[in-house]
Copies of this chain bind each other. A is one copy, B any other.
């Protein structure tokens, strides 16, 4: 069986996107629907892959193209290169996933010095023909042969200058004929050969150029950013040309079946008379609103509206369309399910439900957690302020603050209470403290995988990068003559990439306001509410929140959290409690240590009371203290310098000297792999017992006041069942003691984090001692990959993303092959030991859409994430539970 490399439009359909690309599949679909599509054929992605692998086209390909070309000539009654009535074709790329502007198109293939006369004769429009020919030479030269575009643009500009105009339409036949000669000279100057006069050569070279464009730098970069696999290849569509540039009864346009910004129904789009599609894209002339076509060409308009209805019914979704009118005859050049804003996605999905076009399951498939997350960021309000410039939208959000130009200044000003935006040519690991201190980051260089972008996304911080108009120098930056000096307020929009001078008012997210109970009734929040409600009904995964305070817990509950999956107790050791924690750490005798613990007990208990009260009726998983204790002491280097300098110049303070000794004693080479978590609990007598007592007493207090506390005690960093068993033994005793003392026995689960690889690998043993597992996927990723997020994210993730070692940082989206395997092992073997084992995840991946799908598949009971991510996780957990895993079926 030989491979079939070429499909006629009549042979394909929209399900063949893998093979025909999106454009080819949809052209075939429209052909099947009987819509007016110019005849043509598609060369498959398989042909492209074969060509790219062997660096030459497959043996059978040329022959198959010839066969389809002859068929196309027969259909059209014209022949390629014919001196009397030539067939012209367009050659257009079309990959499976849309890569707008990334790849190549050549129109008017088939025009030569000979056929140009035949076309002129047939069309009776000599101006149009010479215009088409010059377009071919320009596009072919640039796309196929790499002639710099500017050369052609200079030539046409000088022709217009000569004619005294700025509008292409003012060039007449003679001008265009001269321009063709000039273009051919430019072509020869740059390529060393004449513009090819054999139409079949033009076609072949154009096809191969489209294939090659798959691996052009910008396409590679785009795919990496959009997470499109690198090995798909592109299809090539060869279509009989229709002409929008044959006069005022011709034209070209784009149309949407609904407003892609708001979802409102109607006729949306743009139209440009007497033009080819590229003119619309190039923005050379101003388009008119599509509605105006009704006046210009009522018949074509009516036909277009009819076709739009056909397509919307057929695709059951908003479609966007490219069309051309050639002398009053409407042709469909492309359609696809249209892109839309996040808000429109929700509104359109529910509209289609109301119209009876799709059901709620399908509506849920059509929105994503990413879109919902987007809607939960604050945004700049509509503003009169003109953006100063625009960079790459690298990490969403809206940030306002004073511009600062180095990291130390950012830290200093932030410490003084100023909001700052860190502006750097590019960032490196030295800038980390400043990035942490800043509201947002603006850089001059680098794309979505630059250090600034990667780190900012990791921190959830607004970032605009690669704003290449700005010139950063010491203490200021300038754009086109506008200078911003240190301390000036600027505003940056990480969602659009816009940069403003001055303070742009920030508008809260309407979706967040709705959750908070401050907004209702608008189409967007109604749509979000409706789809979330449906997701909630579908999902098997429960969604909890990570929260350390009563306020956070209450907010999480408003966002739909069904409990707390991670309450970090170490946050309760900060602030004005540092003194007590220091005494605990520095205690050199048992009584000193016990006194410090006794002083901490009522404070911890009070914390737990507020959280258990806010989550009455729902589970609250409290993690015993996790970080190394020296994190609560001053940093070694700083203190060592302070004491050494004091010694060199006088006498250091005895407290500092004592503290330095303690810090040195507790210093660790790799604190992440040091004395922390359960290890602390087993080494420092009474520490965990104090925390367990605080939890038990708090639960008893909440129960006595009529609440319904469900505390769950979680032991961090367990690697072996023996560790957990030792802690569990001690904790059970404390729980019994408190029950006896208070007379209230609150059922309390005891379980463990699964965050050390060995814990996952021995989960069958650990489950003997654990009532629940909660995956700490951040640590699991760090230890499983052997890299610390703090150290490597900036230092080499940029390079790794460039090299394609990651498609996306494993801290953003769970690495299924490696870390995911540990998760699956632990789930399977933990449940084998204890069938009713409750299993969740409380790492940041709990709020990542792709990871939520994985956790659903792996059989977890719940995910837990930051309160703001709770709605996202609810939505994605619902989508994951749909029969086909929520994948888009359009």
Contact = CB atoms under 8 A, between A and B. Distances in A.
A674 interface: yes
B804 A722 contact: yes
Nearest to A673: B788
A792 B675 contact: yes
Interface string A744-758: 000000000001111
Nearest to A795: B675
Contacts of A648: 645, 648-649
Given A719-B786, A720-B805, A805-B723, A791 B757 contact: no
A429 interface: yes
B819 A675 contact: no
A641 to B, nearest CB: 4
Given A669-B671, A720-B805, A783-B786, A683 B758 contact: no
A218 to B, nearest CB: 22
A758 B669 contact: no
Contacts of A795: 674-675, 679, 683
Interface residues of A, number: 62
Interface in A791-816: 791-792, 795-796, 799-800, 803-805, 815
A201 B785 CA distance: 64
Contacts of A822: 757, 761
Contacts of A664: 430
A779 interface: yes
A756 B785 contact: yes
A784 interface: yes
Interface string A663-698: 011001111111100010011000000000000000
B762 A683 contact: no
A710 to B, nearest CB: 29
A428 interface: yes
A522 interface: no
Contacts of A785: 719, 756-758
Nearest to A765: B817
A679 B805 CA distance: 11
B671 A672 contact: no
Contacts of A803: 682, 722, 726
A803 B726 CA distance: 8
Contact of A758 (B428, B786, B804): B786
A307 interface: no
A492 B664 CA distance: 30
Contacts of A640: 637, 640-641
Given A679-B796, A719-B787, 12 more contacts: A430-B664, A645-B648, A648-B648, A668-B788, A669-B672, A670-B670, A674-B795, A679-B792, A683-B795, A726-B803, A757-B783, A779-B786
The 7 A-B residue pairs with the shortest CB-CB distance in the complex, in nearest-first order:
A673-B788, A758-B818, A674-B791, A670-B788, A756-B786, A722-B805, A641-B644
25 contacts: A430-B665, A636-B637, A640-B640, A644-B644, A648-B649, A669-B790, A669-B791, A670-B671, A674-B795, A679-B787, A679-B792, A679-B796, A719-B785, A722-B803, A756-B784, A756-B785, A757-B757, A757-B818, A758-B784, A758-B786, A758-B815, A758-B819, A761-B818, A779-B786, A783-B786
